[in-house]
Amino acid sequence: MPTLTIRNLDDATKQGLRLQAARHGRSMEEEARTILRQAVGESPAQPPLDGVGTRIHAHFARLGGVELDLPERADQPQPPDFGETAR
């Protein structure tokens, strides 16, 4: 795979790329590749990374979901009373 070196990149641009990559959970190199792909109209070879919760939801969403009948609780636990007590 070819390599591209970008010289004379100002500090503000590099810092912006670093922050944007962090927001997307990617390395700076992957963020730059994604930006370049979008600029030339190519779609990325792999889908963007999502959080683990999003990926789990997407995986199980194909099953159509599950509805559970949960019984109602007859007696709710009472919170402790931290008021003044006799010693």
Mean per-residue pLDDT over the chain, rounded: 83
Domain positions in the chain:
11-61
Torsion of CA 23, 45, 28, 13, to 10 degrees: -90
pLDDT of 75 higher than 90: no
What DSSP designation does 49 have?
Answer: P
H or E, element range at 47 = none
pLDDT at site 8: 93
Please state the pTM of the whole predicted model. 0.47
Strand, coil or helix: 58:
helix
